[in-house]
Amino acid sequence: MGRPSDAPKGLLNVMEGRTKLLVRPSGGPKGPASRGGVFFNPAMVQNRDLSVLLIDHLSGCGLLPGKNKRVLDGLCGSGVRAVRLGMETELPARGIGIVGTDLDGPSVEAAVMNASLNDVDVNFIRKDLGVHLHRERYSYIDIDPFGPPVPFLRSALEGLLNGGYMGVTATDTAALTGSVPRVSRRRYGITLEMTHAYQEISCRSLMGYIAVVAASMERGVEPVLFYSSDHFVRGYVRTVKGARRADRSLECVNWLQIDGPRPPRIIESFQKMIPSKGSKLIGPVWTGPLEDSPILEKLRENVSNEVRWGYLQTRKQILALLDRAISENGLPIMGYDLNEMASLFRTSPPSMEAIASGLMDMGRSFSRSRFSPTIFKTDGKNEEVDRLFREGGDLNGTGQC
């Protein structure tokens, strides 16, 4: 990253993916520093890499609905995502329009400049997102705000065609993980506490909230992929109109009873709760799958093509994310925390390899969690996992995680 001699004052020359950009960074490697200025967060490169991959795949497979297909980069800031879609995907060649909106005048000016710099056809509009989506409809809408997505979700859902897709980013992780319960309650209507799998809970909190908002508009939602990082939660969903679809989605919004560093009990009503000492009750959150495995398997196949996608800065991280998300599918939510389980049984934490070997010897499945390096998932029973820690102790003889 460097400032070219002919760049406008205060702007830096950035190369992201295959796209040249003139931006004013609004944060460092781990997140945004402030809301002010023409917004560009350099820490979101994986977020944008993955959206480029996914939207290119959805368009190529004919999964985007509508006769006149269009994608919208809502709250576009300096236009990075929209310009990259125009520069690095086949959307233009497929006749799919790319639009960006922002209410901030300097941001729209910067976005237009970046589109011109890369000679791509992207239509940037200075307009409030809700006002724009009151009339316009899109096949895909991306919402990546500074802070919570709550104020924009209803407008985005309204602006989607039936069967359309939506990408949502939330950077208010304290509210979604439960580290500030009063904010979780106020902002998302969720009762949360911190748990061993707080990263996964942040995704389930966001997905559950999206499902509730969509259901109030008689729309169902189906997750494509959710994941979390140090400073944001990211999810992709497909929306389908209809009261029955909405009711079906709400069947996956439930409460969780958490007893220690193990998978929770899913509670559909308080009458089914079995209280125990130290139990935590959180919810309502999404308790269904957080991924669409067929789409992710095709996406993994695509990104494995190094000739096509080898230039992506976060390609290896994306491959690892997809691998774990696919392997987690169908396994109990939250999983087991290696260190907390070892502490529970007062033994040294074994390696993940040793745990995997022990479970597979029992004929059980094993997957590392995409959400945390110390959490694993399995279809084994609690008592089987407990026995590995109780009897095996330091299974690999090293005491290393």
Report pLDDT digits (tens) over 177-188. Answer: 999 999 999 999
* pLDDT number for residue 390: 86
Domain map (residue ranges) of the chain = 12-293, 336-401
235 token code pair: 């999810």
Q: With the CA atoms of 236, 128, 114 and 94 taken in that order, what torsion angle do they form, in degrees rounded to the nearest 10?
A: 50
**Omega cis (within 30) before 332:** no
372 token code pair: 């945390």
Rounded Cα gap, residues 319 and 77, in angstroms: 28
DSSP classification of residue 329: T
* pLDDT digit string (tens) for the chain, length 401 residues: 333 335 556 678 889 999 999 887 665 555 554 555 556 788 899 999 999 999 999 999 999 999 999 999 999 999 999 999 999 999 999 999 999 999 999 889 999 999 999 999 999 999 999 999 999 999 999 999 988 999 999 999 999 999 999 999 999 999 999 999 999 999 999 999 999 999 999 999 999 999 999 999 999 999 999 999 878 999 999 999 999 999 999 999 999 999 889 999 999 766 556 666 778 899 999 999 999 999 999 999 999 999 999 999 999 999 999 999 999 999 999 999 999 999 999 988 889 999 999 999 999 999 999 999 999 999 999 999 999 998 764 444 433 33
* pLDDT number for residue 5: 39
* pLDDT number for residue 22: 87
* pLDDT number for residue 331: 96
Residues 6+ apart with CB under 8 A from 292: 222, 223, 224, 225, 238
Which residues sit opposite 359 in a β-bridge?
A: none
Q: What is the pTM of this model?
A: 0.91
Residues 6+ apart with CB under 8 A from 364: 378, 379, 380, 384
* pLDDT number for residue 275: 62
Instruction: Specify the pairing of strand 70-74 against strand 138-143.
Output: parallel
pLDDT over 90, % of the chain: 80
Averaged confidence pLDDT in the chain: 90
Rounded Cα gap, residues 252 and 2, in angstroms: 48
* pLDDT number for residue 58: 98
Rounded Cα gap, residues 366 and 377, in angstroms: 6
Tokens 């996964």 found at: 200
Rounded Cα gap, residues 175 and 173, in angstroms: 5
Task: Name the fold adopted by 336-401.
Answer: Phenylalanyl-tRNA Synthetase; Chain B, domain 1 (3.30.56)
Residues 6+ apart with CB under 8 A from 62: none
* pLDDT number for residue 339: 93
**Omega cis (within 30) before 25:** no
* CATH superfamily, with its number, for domain 12-293: Vaccinia Virus protein VP39 (3.40.50.150)
